[in-house]
Amino acid sequence: MDYLSAIKQPVQAELADFIELFNRSLTHEDGMLGSALEHIRRRAGKRMRPMLILLMAKAFGHVTDVTQNAAVGLELLHTASLVHDDVVDESSERRGQASVNATYDNKVAVLVGDYILSTALLHVSFTHSEDIVRYLAELGRTLSDGEILQLSNIGRHEISEEVYFEVIRQKTAALFEACAGIGVLSAGVTGEEFENARTFGRHLGIIFQIRDDIFDYYDSPEIGKPTGNDMLEGKLTLPAIYAVNSSGDSRMLELAYKVKERTVTQEEIDALVEYTKSHGGIEYAERRMEELRRKCMSYIENNVTDAEIKSALTAYLDFVIERTK
């Protein structure tokens, strides 16, 4: 099934307007800054977050200028966080292309990220909504907090699902939660309906991150990073956490600690990846995704009345779970 076409169908015109506004926001006449922004524009992803904002707004009302500026503001905030994350993680690739810090250097990347963040604030101000401005400001704080939590967790001798999910809640899940929340907020939804939408977005975000983490256990040039890359960066994700904690294998536990200490070799990473796959780690992560999928479907069925939007959100959920990159 062509999930992306099904997702876009109810908001094609609105998505085209978003892309035009977003691209204008990432345009500058200055040589180096303009070049760096063009580099970022060229690596545009699938627009999953903006599409969720547009769909949620349309599910409960209409897509307005408030919705569009909020969507651009959030996507710019996310883009700035990725530019800064690549500096923090010393990553040379982003979506299969050279990262900003690899193309230029860390100084330029930090400054470009700051420029994009300021542009995000500008667009959020265009909503003239104190609630949306406050929400996006809190999101920025949450994303930074999540990044710091992840960094502090790398060196700790604790292999915990609880910490894993807390990092997700303050990073990927926080973004999806904000997309759903801001989408309905821009349509005038408040109170319990607003909170339910946020919970739906949070569950979507957790599913999205678990699927992303599973990719790291398999070879695929489409994904844009090598197998075991998370472990090379000192990160243990849900499949390995489950496999190590449930098996009691002292050698694998030692390798897991070496991952967190960033003293592990590629051969040891390969061994831990294979152990995780042969000891139920992937299946466990998929079961956790399925639990959250059921909660998301319950929200869609009980809260979305428009048949076209309901179908698009169902396709969105299916795509997040079944995507291959």
**β partners of residue 93:** 98
Identify the pLDDT of residue 223: 46
Q: What is the chain's Cα-based Rg?
A: 20
CATH number of the domain that 66 lies in? Answer: 1.10.600.10
Domain that holds residue 284: 3-322
Q: Do the Cβ atoms of 155 and 173 come closer than 8 Å?
A: no
CA dist 127 and 217 (Å) reads: 42
Identify the pLDDT of residue 244: 95
Render each residue's pLDDT in the chain as its tens digit; 325 residues: 699 999 999 999 999 999 999 999 998 887 888 887 888 888 778 899 999 999 999 999 999 999 999 999 999 999 888 878 777 777 766 666 777 787 777 887 888 889 899 999 999 999 999 999 999 999 999 988 988 888 887 767 788 999 999 999 999 999 999 999 999 999 999 999 999 999 999 999 999 999 999 999 987 655 445 567 889 888 899 999 999 999 888 999 999 999 998 899 999 999 999 999 999 999 999 999 999 999 999 999 999 999 999 999 999 999 999 998 7
Identify the pLDDT of residue 1: 66
The count of domains in the chain is 1
CA dist 322 and 325 (Å) reads: 9
Backbone angles phi, psi at 278, to 5 degrees: -90, -5
- pTM for this entry: 0.92
Backbone angles phi, psi at 97, to 5 degrees: -120, 165
Q: Which of 203, 207, 170, 198 is nearest to 320 (CA)?
A: 207
CA dist 244 and 275 (Å) reads: 9
